Structure 1
């Protein structure tokens, strides 16, 4: 490892130790403070006991069972948990999800006005493909609400399998990779979001496939996997705006860690950049040419500076607030006028607030962004039950009953918070194991997490936004443990 690699690895390690420590403190604080607001029944403790029991059972049975049996067993447990969550609550699309689902029904009737002018999906074009997807589901299936959640279960199981293969590329250790797969299978947010009508459900498997191909390209030193990685990243970006963060991480990793020859580095960078940008640009232009959208998908009629403005609002914790959101309507959606006003207000805030105020704000914002153990999944799965507009639009037919046996938002709060704190602690512990925290391929995940953390520090904050990066933690949690290959190596040294 040359000097540049060593410096970068040391920097990543140091930054992540600070970030993980902040998040752990915030998570513990929020758990202690907020726990009084939630149901104090024994459900959370029972769920935590079951989760712990499953972990101990896996640990005990792992050496005794074959790989095929373990792999199949983890998949079955993962499926069972997702089906139980599906049956537990009759979730309905709410807020942005409700708008996307409703407008999907309008798209299949030939209406595309929602993608034009200053309408909502013209302002936020990254939702456009999800609207069309919901329209397709409603066209194909009579009970589109249930079918969407069932599809989410299938996609979630694919995520669990993909995380096994990603871990295998990182650790080259089958038992450890199975451990990652097991954690992913029982990780609360990756279960909760199956009942949420969110675009992340579509983007996640595409992102994981992109990461898998990228790691295969790095390990195999071949160009075609780089091209596949970029293409899949481009497709993921159609459903969730993540290309900017992930592509920067890919480029940084290639320039710093991939081979020692500048030509190989540049070839890797060009391959992944072109293959990720060109499909996204091409699809955007096709949609414009067909008259479906008015502008390319990268050009929302609401400038990104509005999100940055919300992200600098100290009184709202950097989250959504009416004051900043109203800037768009104040200038009647005039792009340049809105953009300039946002820039003016941002500069004014940084001028009037002392550095100490910003330091405190960003520490709290970082903590709050990542302190929720369910990444908002339980809230969004249950929110439709009490939302009047959602009930009016979607609580019909078999969904009229609006059933829910257990509230994971309330009764399961302690459960998913404790699970999250444990995973964070293990991820932090892995940073102190030099042989693992310094492993070259792991640096890609460290860069990715820092990239997402910085992005959400700059822009509007909401716990749901970080869900797209939650898959990193089942992997990082396993860095705290020594795998079979490391044990054999230690034994040989003795």
Structure 2
């Protein structure tokens, strides 16, 4: 530990870490020629249509009217199609920029919570965190969402320190912007609310009206960008429905998440429920609720516990959050995948990724035991609160390893509490 501390204090600097992060990500997108597949392909290709003024994909029974939260990402891609007919590399390059900015944000948040040396360590750890490198070659909304979420968290921590109305407002604004790309902002909002109630109202029993005003300001900040942008898009006839009004009710993702046979993953049985209900939101909700109830009634408590234990492990137990599969395997031919060299490379990659992930998890768990002696206990617990919120959310909803990527940076910030590095 002394050697690590000496290295961090004397040889590791933020500019060096940022350069390392940028270079690693740039090399990856230059070497790995990932082509969008599945939903990513649909979003990318629809971006081209939107750039041409064709917004049919956002109306009727089209995918982006069923799931309008993806519309902002599609419209974001359309901006690149206005620059060039083949903007794939340009989009990937911007992913590199965003993920390098994430490294910087981990540093500034780490410095706010801990100290400069631990902040540098956190920046270095996320600079080499495999999913934050590998996913740069995939066209996905998380690249735009994560920076906004991190800025929101930063301003909320600033609010914790200062009680400034401006900081809580900015926190809400950036949370809303992140939610426009990846609609998980509610989890952050609940974490903010819980921390706010416990820390500001229960433990600090002063100035209730001012603190209530601060909470109202947070709500306004969260609502403002989404309401304004959504109404502009609807009035321009680009979107048929408001961003927060999907034609397919959100209960369907909970339905998929309770499928015991599929271990909570996407499955044909649950995916066809909306069409069987003729895309009637009320009927879809009623049938989904009925199926969810039947599943719990037909399984014993030990079976339910086993199901959620397996589901949680599969959701969080893959060290790259599915990045190798999405960026490498999905683009390789069957013969290439069976080649001995490909098998060796895949095996070595998974071993390295898994060892690194285990290292992070060990220190994140160790950080829990260090909470008692932490000078910044409240702020550290706040990051754990966000992480626990996501764990609970993905227990309820559809499972896919990629979904955890959007909040995986919380593991880095919590792992720092497992190290003993002073200023």
Of 130, 133, 137, which residue of structure 1 is paired with 2:76? 133
Q: Secondary structure at the match of 1:63?
A: helix
Residues 151, 405 of structure 1: CA spacing in aligned structure 2 closer, same or farther, 3 A cutoff?
Answer: farther
Could you tell me how far apart the structure 1 residues matched to 2:347 and 2:82 are?
Answer: 35
Could you tell me how far apart the structure 1 residues matched to 2:123 and 2:101 are?
Answer: 11
Name the structure, 1 or 2, with higher relative contact order (CA <8 Å, separation 6+). Answer: 1
Ranges of 4+ aligned residues in structure 1 off by more than 3 Å:
55-60, 404-411
Contact 1:255 1:265 in 2 (8 A): no
Q: 1:464 corresponds to which residue?
A: 402
Residues 197, 411 of structure 1: CA spacing in aligned structure 2 closer, same or farther, 3 A cutoff?
Answer: farther
Q: 2:116 corresponds to which residue?
A: 174
Larger CA deviation: 156-165 vs 71-80: 71-80
Q: Secondary structure at the match of 1:315?
A: coil
Of 24, 40, 60, which residue of structure 2 is paired with 1:81? 24
Q: 2:237 corresponds to which residue?
A: 291
Q: 2:198 corresponds to which residue?
A: 256
What RMSD in Å do the two structures reach over aligned CA positions? 2.1
Could you tell me how far apart the structure 1 residues matched to 2:282 and 2:64 are?
Answer: 19
Could you tell me how far apart the structure 1 residues matched to 2:410 and 2:135 are?
Answer: 16
Could you tell me how far apart the structure 2 residues matched to 1:59 and 1:466 are?
Answer: 31
Contact 2:152 2:171 in 1 (8 A): yes
Q: TM-score, normalised by structure 2?
A: 0.93
Q: 2:96 corresponds to which residue?
A: 153
Q: Which deviations, in whole Å up to 9, do the C-alpha atoms of 1:313-360 show, x marking residues without a partner?
A: 010010100110011111221111111111111111111111111111
Q: Secondary structure at the match of 2:261?
A: helix
Residues 182, 334 of structure 1: CA spacing in aligned structure 2 closer, same or farther, 3 A cutoff?
Answer: same
Consecutive unaligned residues of structure 2, counting only runs of 5 or more, are 335-340
Larger CA deviation: 257-266 vs 117-126: 257-266
* Cα offset, 1:56, TM superposition: 10
Residues 405, 207 of structure 1: CA spacing in aligned structure 2 closer, same or farther, 3 A cutoff?
Answer: farther
The equivalences for 1:249-398 within 5 A come to 249-258=191-200, 259-261=204-206, 262-386=208-332
Aligned residues: 412
* Cα offset, 1:58, TM superposition: 6.5
Could you tell me how far apart the structure 2 residues matched to 1:469 and 1:92 are?
Answer: 24
Consecutive unaligned residues of structure 1, counting only runs of 5 or more, are 1-54, 389-403, 486-494
Q: TM-score, normalised by structure 1?
A: 0.80
Could you tell me how far apart the structure 2 residues matched to 1:190 and 1:72 are?
Answer: 18
Q: 1:187 corresponds to which residue?
A: 129
Residues 383, 127 of structure 1: CA spacing in aligned structure 2 closer, same or farther, 3 A cutoff?
Answer: farther
Contact 1:430 1:436 in 2 (8 A): no
Contact 1:88 1:406 in 2 (8 A): no
Could you tell me how far apart the structure 1 residues matched to 2:16 and 2:422 are?
Answer: 20
Could you tell me how far apart the structure 1 residues matched to 2:113 and 2:409 are?
Answer: 14
Contact 1:431 1:437 in 2 (8 A): no
Q: Which deviations, in whole Å up to 9, do the C-alpha atoms of 1:275-325 show, x marking residues without a partner?
A: 102321222122111111111111111111111110000100101001100
Q: Does structure 1 residue 226 correspond to structure 2 residue 172? A: no
Residues 229, 407 of structure 1: CA spacing in aligned structure 2 closer, same or farther, 3 A cutoff?
Answer: farther
Of 367, 370, 387, which residue of structure 2 is paired with 1:430? 367
* Cα offset, 1:62, TM superposition: 2.4
Residues 387, 222 of structure 1: CA spacing in aligned structure 2 closer, same or farther, 3 A cutoff?
Answer: farther
